[in-house]
Amino acid sequence: MRSQHADDYNHDAWAEGYDQDVADESHPIRAGYSALLDWMASAAEIGASDRVLELGSGSGNLTLRLSACGELICVDISAAMEALAAPKLTHLSNRRFIQEDILAVFDRPNFGPFDCVLSSYTVHHLTEEEKVWLFSRVWQQLVPGGRAVFGDLMVETAACQAGLAARYRAQGQPDTAESIEEEFFWRLETAVEQLTRLGFWVQTRRFSDLTFGLLCRKGN
């Protein structure tokens, strides 16, 4: 299965200037970026021999924060974002990059299992149906006791989405309103239900108006 909007959200065209953009946390889309990535790296509790998968690794800002592990596989569809990441990550000799869609990559033979799967600011490019598909693949590919750690743009419920977009428009932030309306921000309540139904124990943490982290543990 390949994500419907993979080509639309391939960040090749946005790579130049990406790291400057994310450093500007005064923008509502970027508020909490650095604290969220720090929290994800710590919540993942990566061990020295762990197999780790990062989905949508982009310019490597989360990768750079991860503890040393046995094997690290980073997946992104954008060659230009990987060109930013690679020089930051030369010390990670056990890192492998796969240029691929984050759904299609699960079709590779002998891909898992993983001790930990992470993804920051990428799953909001997937439709609601695709998110459900991804969650179940992550569940299948995690070892017992494994962790999935997500950090992304989210609204608490589907019902508050339109109100949030209207509020940002009224505050003179039409680009934020458009992102809320046009991209596929997670609906936190729904995602927690879906992940819990799969069997995950889920913990959530808020980092800004639009940003949350989720730590999902698969029981032993």
Ligand X SMILES: C[S@@+](CC[C@H](N)C(=O)[O-])C[C@H]1O[C@@H](n2cnc3c(N)ncnc32)[C@H](O)[C@@H]1O
Give the length of the chain.
220
The 10 Å Cβ neighbour count of residue 188 is: 19
Range 140-169, binding ligand X (CB under 6 A): none
User: Shortest Cβ distance from residue 170 to ligand X (Å)?
Assistant: 26
User: Shortest Cβ distance from residue 48 to ligand X (Å)?
Assistant: 23
The 10 Å Cβ neighbour count of residue 203 is: 13
Among 28, 32, 58, 146, binds ligand X (CB under 6 A): 58
Q: Which of 33, 55, 210, 218 is nearest to 130 (CA)?
A: 55
Output DSSP code: residue 107.
Answer: G
Helix (H, G, I), strand (E, B) or coil at 96: strand
User: Shortest Cβ distance from residue 149 to ligand X (Å)?
Assistant: 12
**The tokens 């936190």 sit on which residue?**
188
Say whether residue 62 binds ligand X (CB under 6 A).
yes
User: Shortest Cβ distance from residue 62 to ligand X (Å)?
Assistant: 5
- CB-nearer residue toward ligand X: 79 or 199: 79
Burial of 143 (0-12, 13-18, 19+ CB in 10 A): middle
User: Shortest Cβ distance from residue 74 to ligand X (Å)?
Assistant: 9
Per-residue binding letters, 64-103, with ligand X (x by CB under 6 A): ------------xxx--x-------------------xx-
Per-residue binding letters, 18-37, with ligand X (x by CB under 6 A): ----x---------------
Q: Residue 19: CB partners within 8 Å, gap ≥ 6?
A: 59, 61, 84
Q: How far apart are CA 112 and CA 97, in angstroms?
A: 15
Range 99-138, binding ligand X (CB under 6 A): 101-102, 120-122, 125
For ligand X, the nearest residue by Cβ is 58
State the number of binding residues for ligand X (CB under 6 A). Answer: 22
Q: How far apart are CA 48 and CA 20, in angstroms?
A: 32
**Which positions lie near ligand X, rule CB under 6 A?**
3, 6, 9-11, 22, 56-59, 61-62, 76-78, 81, 101-102, 120-122, 125
